[in-house]
């Protein structure tokens, strides 16, 4: 018996599938409803484990979407059919994908925030520059943008505020209103101006406090972002001091700058702040800003025990102390125009002309009174500044910190004509002690060679001592023989110095055997320049003829001729020029040095003695010019040929 074939039975037992056993099994296939049978058939999906109610909280993705957390297979209690998913790899992959999407979205949003901040800052700056009084409220919004958590936006905000304040700050200092002024009735324009000024001062104060806070934080926290934004803050403070030194909160800005120069290490911010102070000292007309800066510097130096870089002390050399201002004529306005023709003048009555003349006279008197008051105030402030400067110099001379003596002596030499006569004695004693300390023992000089330059300091001491005498001490009987003798003793060793024509700005290769760090000195004068300066103060000042004896002049002349043989070309030319000048002024006293037949003095010349008065110079003869005539430099040879004729009055 044949087995009966049956058609596939639908899972839903649908009546649409009909067949008979007597006919061919596929005879009624045309009547099958295959689409409905496929729809009602169960889907062939991956076998999933029995769903279990999730006990986890929903999660929020970085892009803001809220999703239900999936349950890993191990917690779902499934059977071992999907053993490959027991480690939760499906959930890990989803989490990583969501994290990557969140990072991309976050980067895009941060970049977009920076772009939006740039556009907003540009719009605010434009509106403030066009009409500051109408848009004064935007200053607060500008400050809020600068307080953003993004470092880039903070930098942009600080720099934008600097540019805006430099443009809108008026040319006068804004003072607070008194109670009477606040109660008084004013016009709408005055009220609007006062509102703008108060808004400007309050927001500017907040900006300056932000700069100080950021700068102070960068000195403590040395992370990359903090240091970068601290540098921006210091640049902004320097820019404000250079652009608007007259405006409010100048002391707070100067504190930021002085704090940056109170360290020994020299970096970019240190140089920026030091340069800003020097420019402030040079351009300060009334002396108020300079007085505040010097006051802060003096306090800082005292608190640091003078353990700072010497370039900080050298900023005092840029002060305009008790010097008249250079008033130049205007290039745009004609100061003495010719009288206009009568037909070009405006008609005025006799009474109007009389009133105009009286008004001009009164204005002239008021201007003269204001000028007198301002001049007296300026002198008073400069006197106070001078006291602070000299107080700092004298304290350094007393304590003698390493590295600051050169800058101190340079400052004393420059301002010697302003020193009070009562301090002359103490100052000369201090200078003598410095020279003695530097040269009394050869071992001390070698030991301190890396820290101090004894030759340079000694030359500065000599220059300072004679500058005191040439300034206010001309009528005083001060014996400076000690300094003259020391300079005479220094000539021979100085002529053999390798750094005679070199300064700190000269390019040179470092010594491979010297492992000490190079000292960056501020005094850029070379040793030969300082020597010529000292010789000028000794022999060519107003009262030089009274203090210099013929023996001293002859001794210096002979030794200078000897040292010229050992010096480089430029130094030799400078010494020959000095000797030419001495020959023209002291011709009668020096003629005997060129006489080869008759000897003026008896005995022998003692060239090894470092005291000019007992070296017996008139027993010597100047023969160095014979060698200098054969010098490789044509200029030196020509100068050596002309020198005897000047001494013997043959020119």
Provide the pLDDT for residue 20.
44
Distance CA 43, CA 36 (A): 13
Q: What is the percentage of the chain residues whose pLDDT exceeds 90?
A: 21
DSSP state of 517: P
> Residue 161 — very low, low, confident or very high, per pLDDT cuts 50/70/90?
very high
4: pLDDT strictly greater than 70? no
Give CA–CA dist 110/304, Å, rounded: 44
Q: What is the pLDDT of residues 311-320, one digit of tens each?
A: 899 899 888 8
Would you say residue 458 has pLDDT above 70?
yes
> Three-state DSSP class for 207?
helix
Give the pLDDT mean for 537-559.
81
Whether 277 shows a pLDDT value over 60: the answer reads yes
Closest CA to 76 of 58, 94, 60, 88: 88
Name the band, by pLDDT with cuts 50, 70 and 90, for residue 211: very high
Within 72-187, where are the H helices? 73-76, 89-130, 138-146, 151-168, 179-183
Q: Counting beta carbons within 10 angstroms of the beta carbon of residue 414, is it exposed (0 to 12), middle (13 to 18) or buried (19 or more)? A: middle
Check whether 493 has a pLDDT greater than 90: no
DSSP code of residue 287: S
Which conformational region is residue 102 in: left (phi greater than 0), alpha (psi within -120 to 50 degrees), or beta? alpha
Q: Which residue has the higher pLDDT, 330 or 275?
A: 275
At residue 324 the predicted structure's pLDDT band, cuts being 50, 70 and 90, is: very low
Whether the pLDDT of residue 44 is over 70: the answer is no
Task: Give the pLDDT band of residue 49 (cuts 50, 70, 90).
Answer: very low
pLDDT of residue 5: 43
Provide the pLDDT for residue 224.
Answer: 85
Mean pLDDT within 437-460? 59
Tokens 């102390």 correspond to: 321
Q: What is each CA distance from 26 to 136, 265, 574, in whole angstroms?
A: 92, 101, 129
pLDDT interval class at 25 (50, 70, 90)? low
- Are 434 and 401 a contacting pair, CB within 8 Å? no
| DSSP designation for 265 | S
CB 581 within 8 A of CB 647: no
Distances (CA, A) of 499 to 7, 504, 525: 116, 10, 11
Confidence of residue 370 (pLDDT cuts 50, 70, 90): low
The yes-or-no verdict on residue 240 having pLDDT over 50 is yes
Q: Of 18-22, 32-36, 232-236, give the lowest mean pLDDT range.
A: 18-22
Q: CA 68, CA 60: separation in Å to the nearest integer? A: 9
CA distance 85 to 93: 12
How far is it, in rounded angstroms, from Cα 198 to Cα 178? Answer: 13
Beta-bridge partners for 66: 60
C-alpha–C-alpha distance, residues 556 and 530, integer Å: 16
With CA atoms as reference, report the closest residue to 435 among 389, 400, 469. 400
* Mean pLDDT within 276-291: 90
Q: How many CB atoms lie within 10 A of CB 364?
A: 10
Least confident of 97-111, 158-172, 292-306, 615-629: 97-111
Cβ within 8 Å of residue 512, ≥6 positions away: none
Given a cut of 50, whether residue 401 has pLDDT beyond it is: yes
CB atoms within 10 A of CB 227: 14
Annotate 40-103 with DSSP letters as a single string.
SSPP-PPP-PPP----SPPEE-TTS-EEPPPPPHHHHT--GGGGGGTT-HHHHHHHHHHHHHHH
Per-chain mean pLDDT for the chain = 77
Average pLDDT over residues 38-51: 57
Q: Which is higher by pLDDT, 300 or 518?
A: 300
Give the span between the Cα atoms of 73 and 48, in whole angstroms.
10
C-alpha distances (whole Å) from 402 to each of 371, 460, 523 are 44, 16, 15
């Amino acid at each position: 018996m044949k087995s009966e074939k049956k058609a596939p039975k639908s899972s839903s037992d649908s009546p649409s599938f009909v067949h008979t056993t007597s006919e061919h099994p596929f005879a009624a296939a045309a009547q099958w409803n295959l689409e409905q049978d496929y729809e009602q058939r169960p889907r062939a999906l991956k076998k999933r484990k029995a769903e279990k109610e999730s006990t986890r909280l929903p999660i929020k993705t970085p892009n803001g979407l809220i999703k239900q957390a999936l349950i890993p297979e191990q917690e779902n209690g499934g059977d071992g059919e999907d053993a490959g998913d027991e480690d939760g790899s499906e959930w890990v992959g989803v989490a990583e994908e969501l994290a990557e999407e969140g990072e991309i979205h976050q980067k895009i949003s941060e970049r977009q925030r920076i772009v939006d901040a740039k556009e907003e800052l540009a719009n605010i700056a434009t509106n403030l520059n066009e009409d500051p009084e109408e848009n004064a409220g935007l200053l607060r919004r500008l400050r809020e943008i600068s307080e953003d958590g993004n470092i880039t936006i903070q930098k942009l905000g600080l720099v934008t505020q600097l540019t805006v304040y430099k443009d809108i700050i008026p040319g006068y200092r804004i003072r607070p209103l008194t109670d009477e002024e606040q109660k008084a009735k004013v016009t709408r324009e005055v009220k609007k101006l006062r509102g703008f000024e108060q808004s400007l001062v309050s927001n500017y104060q907040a900006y300056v406090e932000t700069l100080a806070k950021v700068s102070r934080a960068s000195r403590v926290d040395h992370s990359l972002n903090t240091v970068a934004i601290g540098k921006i803050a210091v640049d902004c403070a320097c820019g404000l001091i250079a652009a608007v030194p007259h405006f409010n909160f100048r002391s707070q800005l100067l504190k930021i700058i002085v704090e940056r120069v109170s360290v020994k290490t020299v970096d970019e911010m240190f140089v920026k702040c030091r340069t800003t102070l020097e420019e402030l000292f040079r351009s300060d007309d009334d002396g108020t800003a300079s007085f505040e800066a010097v006051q802060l510097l003096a306090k800082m130096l005292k608190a640091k025990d003078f353990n700072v870089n010497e370039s900080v002390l050298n900023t005092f050399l840029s002060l305009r102390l008790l010097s008249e201002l250079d008033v130049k004529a205007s290039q745009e306005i004609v100061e003495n125009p010719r009288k206009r023709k009568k037909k070009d003048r405006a008609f005025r009555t006799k009474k109007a002309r009389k009133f105009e003349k009286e008004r001009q006279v009164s204005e002239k008197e008021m201007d003269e009174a204001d000028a007198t008051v301002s001049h007296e105030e300026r002198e008073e402030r400069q006197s106070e500044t001078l006291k602070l400067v000299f107080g700092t110099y004298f304290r350094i001379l007393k304590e003698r910190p390493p590295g600051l003596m050169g800058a101190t002596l340079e400052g004393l030499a420059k301002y010697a004509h302003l020193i009070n006569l009562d301090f002359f004695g103490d100052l000369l004693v201090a200078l003598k002690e410095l020279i003695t300390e530097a040269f009394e023992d050869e071992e001390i000089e070698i030991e301190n060679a890396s820290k101090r330059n004894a030759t340079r300091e000694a030359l500065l001491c000599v220059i300072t001592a004679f500058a005191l005498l040439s300034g206010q001490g001309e009528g005083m009987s001060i014996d400076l023989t000690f300094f003259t003798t020391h300079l005479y003793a220094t000539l021979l060793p100085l002529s053999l110095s390798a750094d005679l024509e070199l300064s700190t700005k000269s390019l040179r290769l470092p010594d491979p055997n010297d492992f000490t760090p190079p000292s960056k000195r501020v005094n850029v004068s070379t040793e030969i320049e300082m020597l010529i300066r000292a010789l000028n103060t000794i022999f060519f000042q107003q009262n030089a003829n009274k203090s210099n004896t013929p023996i001293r002049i002859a001794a210096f002349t002979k030794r200078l001729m000897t040292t010229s043989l050992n010096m480089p070309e430029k130094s030799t030319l400078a010494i020959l020029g000095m000797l030419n000048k001495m020959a023209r002024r002291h011709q009668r006293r020096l003629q005997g040095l060129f006489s080869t037949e008759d000897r003026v003095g008896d005995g022998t010349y003692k060239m090894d003695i470092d005291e000019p008065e007992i070296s017996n110079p008139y027993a010597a003869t100047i023969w160095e010019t014979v060698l200098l005539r054969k010098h490789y430099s044509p200029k030196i040879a020509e100068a050596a040929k002309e020198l005897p004729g000047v001494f013997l009055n043959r020119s």
